[in-house]
A = this chain, B = another copy of it.
Amino acid sequence: MNTENEETELIAKEKLKQKETMVEKMGVIFENSGFTPMHGRVFAFLLLSEPPYQDFYSIQEFLKASKSAISTALKFLTDMKVVQYITFSGDRKRYFQVDVEGWFEQTTAQLEIVETIAELTQDVLDNRSESKHLEFNEKLEQMVKFNSQLNIALKQFIQEWKKTNM
């Protein structure tokens, strides 16, 4: 049987590998919503880290990436307010962590696409007012109606949520 140390070491390695897999998997999801691979991986890494705040070098080491790539990613993520950094007195380092409130704002902001589509489709309809193809126009009207009603429902839901949970 292994010594205790060997066992805990193995477990630690296991966990690291698992974390790598999760970072990769989650990274792809963030990529699909407009992050670069590195941005996605940095964000995923911070989400999964214990403690949730990590210094520059830890991020770099885990992701085996260049300083510049990490720096650019952190700048991007802090600029969009989904990551922030904290400091501890007597320590020069910045500790980066996910700004969950900012992330929340970011995801709700993405829902504005619904309003955008409603407006765009209404613009289309305004331009099609002379059209003889009423069936097509009616479908577009439905599209407008759906998206604008959904937009109202979304705004209400978010407002209600903020009132009772924030």
What residues make up the interface of A, taking CB atoms closer than 8 Å to B?
Answer: 19, 22, 26, 29, 33, 47-48, 50-52, 97-98, 100-101, 103-104, 107, 110-111, 113-114, 116-117, 120, 123-124, 127-128, 130-133, 136, 139-140, 142-143, 145-147, 149-150, 153-154, 157, 161, 165
A111 smallest CB distance to B (angstroms):
8
Q: List 10 A-B contacts (CB under 8 A).
A: A22-B123, A50-B130, A52-B133, A97-B136, A100-B139, A100-B143, A107-B114, A111-B114, A146-B165, A149-B161
The A interface is mostly helix, strand or loop, or mixed, namely helix
Q: Give bound CA distance, A157 to B101, whole Å.
A: 26
Give this chain's copy count.
2
Are A140 and B100 in contact (CB-based, < 8 A)?
yes
